[in-house]
């Protein structure tokens, strides 16, 4: 297991290197001159020339890449041209918000997705199974922004139970924080729950028809023990993988949901940065989320050893 971990850690370095080239390269493909975009509505040629010089926009691509990489190695991800704030500061500002939203959404997704998936597999071809499948279809086919706006109209505008949008730090007011986060977390969790439910169901169906489950039942084990300890544990491997991927995606920011609920996370940050050609912010945030994504995948792989004893050999 130790060797495996070492190999995986060693693979992170070249992966991140390629990711950094990809981020940098893809960004250059964006149409439009970043200096013109950043100069604002006055389009002042002096400002455009100044911005070109400041951000080395006239230099060849490899040179610009080197400037950036050099900064990254020194812990400097650059500065947002739009609001004049260091990118590291922006990331640290958004990170707790993004993590909280991702974790809450994931919790909702896991609770709903796994329980619905297990129930649907165990009670296959019953009305519960059909209901769970309809729920999954609904979750998969409902656009986040639409569900978000409907929830706002119902719970904030009509009933007045929850705030329509905005973010309050949990350290400032935990109750207000949860009230602000519950709707966006549900919107995100709802979509992921649907995916998780489908995967849990198919993994459980496969496991439930295997020999060792039949043996466990023949030994006279309680059905609850058979399902939760024997079947679900083995079915968890694909669910853990999927969960980690989904969590990684959530950490990359949930653009539409953040926009609708005005949650100041990575999604809003990166979209605004792309539209304003605020390159340092785009590069910094994508590099950060890519690192988080790769780390989560590694953790998911390690989790296999925990949930499935057969893999420890």
User: For binding to another protein (CB under 8 A), which residues are involved?
Assistant: 30-33, 36-37, 39-47, 50-51, 54, 80, 82-85, 90, 93, 149, 152-153, 156-157, 160, 163-167, 259-262, 264, 268-269, 272, 275-277
Nearest distance in Å: CB 61, another protein? 18
- The CA distance from 230 to 234, in Å, is 7
Q: Which is nearer to another protein, 216 or 269 (CB)?
A: 269
Q: Which is nearer to another protein, 183 or 208 (CB)?
A: 183
Nearest distance in Å: CB 143, another protein? 14
Write the CB contacts of 183 (distance below 8 Å, at least 6 apart in sequence): 148, 151, 152, 155, 162, 261
Q: Which is nearer to another protein, 169 or 215 (CB)?
A: 169
Nearest distance in Å: CB 42, another protein? 5
Torsion angle (degrees, nearest 10) of CA 291, 294, 296, 299: -120
Least Cα distance to 187 among 149, 144, 218, 157 occurs for 144
- The CA distance from 161 to 163, in Å, is 7
Q: Which is nearer to another protein, 42 or 211 (CB)?
A: 42
Nearest distance in Å: CB 71, another protein? 17
Q: Which is nearer to another protein, 201 or 268 (CB)?
A: 268
Nearest distance in Å: CB 190, another protein? 19
For residue 94, give Cα distances in angstroms to 116, 179, 289.
32, 19, 12
Classified as helix, coil or strand, 86 is: strand
């Amino acid at each position: 297991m130790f060797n495996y971990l070492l190999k995986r850690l060693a693979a992170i370095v070249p992966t991140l290197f390629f990711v950094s080239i990809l981020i940098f390269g893809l960004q250059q493909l964006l149409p439009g001159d970043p200096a013109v975009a950043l100069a604002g509505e006055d389009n002042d040629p002096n400002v455009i020339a100044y911005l070109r010089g400041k951000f080395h926009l006239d230099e060849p691509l490899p040179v610009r890449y080197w400037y950036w990489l050099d900064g990254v190695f020194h812990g400097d991800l650059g500065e947002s041209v739009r609001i004049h704030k260091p990118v590291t500061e922006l990331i640290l500002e958004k990170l707790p918000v993004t993590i909280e939203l991702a974790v809450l959404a994931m919790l909702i997704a896991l609770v709903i997705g796994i329980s619905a998936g297990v129930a649907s597999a165990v009670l296959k071809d019953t009305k519960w199974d059909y209901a769970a499948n309809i729920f999954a279809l609904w979750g998969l086919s409902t656009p986040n922004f639409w569900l978000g706006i409907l929830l706002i109209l119902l719970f904030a505008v009509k009933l007045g139970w929850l705030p329509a949008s905005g973010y309050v730090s949990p350290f400032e007011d935990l109750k207000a924080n949860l009230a602000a986060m519950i709707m966006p977390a549900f919107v995100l969790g709802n979509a992921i729950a649907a995916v998780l439910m489908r995967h849990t169901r198919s993994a459980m169906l496969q496991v439930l028809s295997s020999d060792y489950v039949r043996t466990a039942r023949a030994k006279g084990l309680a059905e609850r023990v058979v399902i939760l300890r024997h079947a679900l544990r083995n079915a968890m491997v694909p669910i853990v993988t999927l969960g980690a991927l989904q969590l990684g995606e959530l950490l990359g920011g949930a653009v539409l949901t953040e926009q609708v609920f005005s949650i100041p996370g990575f999604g809003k940050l990166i979209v605004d940065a792309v539209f304003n050609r605020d390159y340092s912010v785009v590069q910094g945030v994508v590099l950060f989320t890519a690192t988080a994504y790769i780390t989560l995948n590694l953790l998911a792989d390690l989790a296999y050893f925990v949930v499935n004893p057969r893999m420890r050999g």
